[in-house]
Amino acid sequence: MNAAPPPGAFAPLLAFRQVWKTYGEGEARVDALAGVDLSVMPGEFVAIMGPSGSGKSTAMNIIGCLDTPTGGTYAFNGVDAGRLDRGRRAVLRNHFIGFVFQGYNLLPRTTAVENVELPLVYRGVGSRQRRAMALEALDQVGLAGRADHTPAELSGGQQQRVAIARAIVTRPALLVADEPTGNLDTARSHEIMELLTGLNEEHGLTVLIVTHESDIAQYAQRNISFLDGNIVSDVMRPTSATEVA
């Protein structure tokens, strides 16, 4: 699949048009998404909220090219991602989207810099270049002095920083963070959110986070709430996220 050109200044990075996601049939049918319209522009910082079963996780799986719509269209960076086969979705995902999870998902016996290098290994980047890119990503998240530490030698907050470095080392267009502060205490949670805010504001990285915590959602410029497979509110925040903490 040829890489799509960068989106124009007024073109959405991603867009849902009447997206449905249905599981089961007949009386067992469940509409996880029920005709959702959604656009996210390049450089936005968006928090997606909603109770369990609201559709927010299904929406994020489709956005991250981990799943496809049952109906409607999902366009990412000008590509109709919903119609791509599994292999082409994987190419799009690996080249344009970075992921951060609640559980860090670091290899336990591997150093921080080696963990960050992994996406570059899969891309076939040479050892010298990938080491330089990984060290740069660790520096961006404030861990330049922890490159040779294993996860067991790092705090939870530092492990999440390594996971963020791994997600941004490929210089993606979109960072998807699923409950990125769920395993952290309050102070470390706000440090992680300030880091994500900095990546968004200073580097123009588009950030989407899923969270059930309203104080975490306040860091985002835009809060979207899901309920019963629909968007029930979509609110732009009037103040800078850096003023929240």
Over 96-140, what HEC string results? HEEEEECCCCCCCCCCHHHHHHHHHHHHCCCHHHHHHHHHHHHHH
Residue 135 has pLDDT above 50, yes or no: yes
Cα Rg of the chain, angstroms: 18
Over residues 195-206, mean pLDDT: 96
- The letter for the amino acid at 138 is L
* Per-residue pLDDT band at 242 (split at 50, 70, 90): very low
| Of 9-13, 36-40, 193-197, 225-229, minimum mean pLDDT range | 9-13
* Per-residue pLDDT band at 244 (split at 50, 70, 90): very low
* Per-residue pLDDT band at 36 (split at 50, 70, 90): very high
Over residues 164-168, mean pLDDT: 97
Residue 238 has pLDDT above 50, yes or no: yes
Nearest to 157 by CA among 190, 113, 197, 202: 190
Whether this prediction's pTM lies above 0.85 is answered by yes
Over residues 93-107, mean pLDDT: 93
Q: With H, G, I as helix, E, B as strand and everything else as coil, classify residue 186.
A: helix
Residue 175 has pLDDT above 70, yes or no: yes
Residues above pLDDT 70, as percent of the chain? 93
Residue 98's pLDDT is 96
Spatial distance between the Cα atoms of 76 and 84, rounded to a whole number of angstroms: 11
Instruction: Name the DSSP letter for residue 63.
Output: H
CATH code for the part of the protein at 14-243: 3.40.50.300
Q: With H, G, I as helix, E, B as strand and everything else as coil, classify residue 190.
A: helix
Q: Which residue has the higher pLDDT, 27 or 191?
A: 191
Over residues 119-141, mean pLDDT: 95
Spatial distance between the Cα atoms of 179 and 195, rounded to a whole number of angstroms: 15
Spatial distance between the Cα atoms of 132 and 140, rounded to a whole number of angstroms: 12
Residue 4's pLDDT is 41
- Do 112 and 154 meet the contact criterion of CB atoms below 8 Å apart? yes
Over residues 124-138, mean pLDDT: 96
Q: How far from 124 is each of 11, 98, 129, CA to CA, in Å?
A: 31, 17, 10
Residue 73 has pLDDT above 60, yes or no: yes
Residue 7 has pLDDT above 50, yes or no: no
* Per-residue pLDDT band at 237 (split at 50, 70, 90): confident
Spatial distance between the Cα atoms of 182 and 106, rounded to a whole number of angstroms: 16
User: What's the distance, CA 172 to chain centroid?
Assistant: 10
Residue 26's pLDDT is 87
What's the whole-number average pLDDT of the chain? 91
Strands 206-210 and 174-178: parallel
Residue 63's pLDDT is 96
- Do 120 and 134 meet the contact criterion of CB atoms below 8 Å apart? yes
Residue 9's pLDDT is 52
- Give 30-59 as a DSSP string: EEEEEEEEEEE-TT-EEEEE--TTSSHHHH
Residue 166 has pLDDT above 80, yes or no: yes
